[in-house]
Amino acid sequence: MSFQELYNKHCKQGHHYTYGTAGFRAHNSVLDTVMFTTGIVAVLRSIYLKSKFVGVMITASHNPPEDNGVKIVEPHGEMLVQNWEPIATKLANSASAGFTQLESALKAITDELHIDTTQLACITVARDSRESGPRLLAALRAGISVFSNVKIVDFELLTTPQLHFLTHTLNSSSSPSTVKESAYYDHFISMWNQLTQLHHVTELPFHLTIDCANGIGADKVKELIAQAGSVLASSLSTVNGKTDTFQLLNESCGADFVKTNQTFPANCSPEPSQLYCSFDGDADRVVFYYMDDKENKFHLLDGDKIATLLAKLLADLLHQCGLSDTLNLGVVQTAYANGSSTKYISDDLKIPVSCTKTGVKHLHHEAVSNYDIGVYFEANGHGTVIFSSKFVETIDIALQETSKTNKNKHESLLSLQLFSQLINQTVGDAISDMLAVVATLSILKLKPEDWDQCYHDLPNRLTKVIVPDRSVFVSTNAERQLVSPEGLQAKIDELVAKYPKSRSFVRASGTEDAVRVYAEADTTENAIELATKVGEQVK
């Protein structure tokens, strides 16, 4: 089919698209056009990067089943570089205006970037379990097929982090044609086995129930458990794994539901002191929780608790190797991190902590720029740990120099090395993060209550306000202060001053047409009152 025929078949006019925090996301019915143009963008990006594999993931993560979305993955697994986001937006909105507009926008871009569209493009694609996935994938593939010299690796159903990992693996491999989905399981199971064997972990200190949000993570984590062997198979089980009942996706379950409602998901019968976790719809986020044995209350162990647990283990290991002054470790958070966690990291762990704008691409960037070991998590459970090339070289050299007679140091060095591989460094990954947390708790022999003891969350409230135009809410200082609308920040400051230990901020969501209000304070009543009063100022 010609370019125009493909366009006519898949594109509709009239919708306005924006590349948001997590790519394009909307109701599936308006997404065919943007799938088509995202296919084109991926091809251009691959050619621009000298035929490296560029990934395209079709998912709407924690959003409702009828939504969908698409995001582009860079060759080494990062999110699309920010200066290409306007290109993606431009092509989508040109296509939405008409074929001629799309054609001329494409020409303007290829001319400006000197992209020869006859060169080879290499693309990986995958989708989550949504009903609209196959149709949208067809639109995406049509966009890709506008170009004749393309190699596509279609992984079909994957979690988002699997696609990031496999895209990176393909680009690093000398024989890309041999890279299959199994490379993901082989890698993480091998690291898990080596790390836990080194620490003589023969059983977990709890049973872990995984709520899979009825999403693609269910099939993939089951596959991993089945292949992993007895320690995991005997201590892990899954609920909410109905991937093929589309309307159940994220319904009363999943990481977003648990974090927002601070309660157990559907189909989970909690037992005291056992551990639970929830993935989101595309398994790039995870939060943990448990029920205590005294009051049978729900306790959330969110992204902040994950970050502190991992940062503490890594700091201890660095100390045991005598490398605390050589390799710098830091934690990156957003304004949504609970104030108690920030205080605990800096005052008790004495680890530097920085704050960035919402969206993992910002946290990732900050971690790469500042730290040899950068632990970054959003409070909602989206995050990972990244390790610099200096870290890799330093550990390699130290391992060679440390004779096995210094057994403790050798073990700590090896633990650091294995840990850096057990974490999916390309992007936050519910499965890999879960393995890292479970390994840490098993090595340190911690029960859920022990993990929870490190600090106590300040009571907090996150609400959403629908406004006529969220673009007027412009913030600064890592989104903690508003510069517009004029005068609003002063009113927020006035309200905050009235409550002990309080903090509140307002920002426009990057994924929903709404403004978010966050407040924390000394008591739950005060946090709710503060969020309500700030919310009233926003309307």
Among 241, 250, 380, 249, which residue's Cα sits nearest to residue 303?
A: 380
Token pair of 302 as six digits: 């969110």
Q: How far is the CB of 173 from ligand NG1 (least distance, A)?
A: 29
* Residues within the interface to Zn ion (CB under 5 A): 61, 280, 282, 284
Q: How far is the CB of 380 from Zn ion (least distance, A)?
A: 9
User: Which option in ligand NG1, Zn ion, none does residue 516 bind, with CB closer than 5 to 8 A by kind?
Assistant: ligand NG1
If the CB atoms of residues 358 and 394 are measured against ligand NG1, the closer one turns out to be 358
If the CB atoms of residues 282 and 520 are measured against Zn ion, the closer one turns out to be 282
Among 339, 337, 348, which residue's Cα sits nearest to residue 315?
A: 348
3-state secondary structure of 533: helix
Give me the residue whose beta carbon is nearest to Zn ion. Answer: 61
CB 156 within 8 A of CB 175: no
List of E strands, 206-318: 208-211, 236-239, 275-279, 286-291, 298-301
Among 80, 65, 86, which residue's Cα sits nearest to residue 17?
A: 86
d(CA 396, CA 214): 41
User: Which option in Zn ion, ligand NG1, none does residue 358 bind, with CB closer than 5 to 8 A by kind?
Assistant: ligand NG1
d(CA 271, CA 239): 14
If the CB atoms of residues 75 and 359 are measured against ligand NG1, the closer one turns out to be 359
Active site residue 173: no
Among 231, 303, 237, 302, which residue's Cα sits nearest to residue 267?
A: 237
If the CB atoms of residues 38 and 380 are measured against Zn ion, the closer one turns out to be 380
Sheet holding 373-377, edge to edge: 353-356, 329-334, 373-377, 383-387
d(CA 152, CA 121): 8
User: Which option in Zn ion, ligand NG1, none does residue 511 bind, with CB closer than 5 to 8 A by kind?
Assistant: ligand NG1
Q: How far is the CB of 162 from Zn ion (least distance, A)?
A: 12
Q: Which of 46, 61, 340, 502 is catalytic?
A: 61
Residue 420, number of CB atoms within 10 A of its CB? 18
List of E strands, 307-371: 329-334, 353-356
If the CB atoms of residues 328 and 380 are measured against ligand NG1, the closer one turns out to be 380
If the CB atoms of residues 110 and 509 are measured against ligand NG1, the closer one turns out to be 509
If the CB atoms of residues 63 and 328 are measured against ligand NG1, the closer one turns out to be 63
Q: How far is the CB of 508 from ligand NG1 (least distance, A)?
A: 8
Q: How far is the CB of 519 from ligand NG1 (least distance, A)?
A: 13
Peptide linkage before 485 cis (omega within 30 of 0): yes
User: Which option in ligand NG1, Zn ion, none does residue 280 bind, with CB closer than 5 to 8 A by kind?
Assistant: Zn ion
User: Which option in ligand NG1, Zn ion, none does residue 21 bind, with CB closer than 5 to 8 A by kind?
Assistant: ligand NG1
User: Which option in Zn ion, ligand NG1, none does residue 117 bind, with CB closer than 5 to 8 A by kind?
Assistant: none
User: Which option in ligand NG1, Zn ion, none does residue 250 bind, with CB closer than 5 to 8 A by kind?
Assistant: none
Q: How far is the CB of 213 from ligand NG1 (least distance, A)?
A: 14
Q: How far is the CB of 454 from ligand NG1 (least distance, A)?
A: 22
* Residues within the interface to ligand NG1 (CB under 6 A): 21-22, 61, 336, 358-359, 378, 380, 382, 509-512, 516
Q: By CB neighbour count within 10 A (0-12 exposed, 13-18 middle, 19+ buried), where does 22 fall?
A: buried
Please tell me the number of Cα atoms within 13 Å of 529 on its side-chain side.
12
* Residues annotated catalytic, as ranges: 61
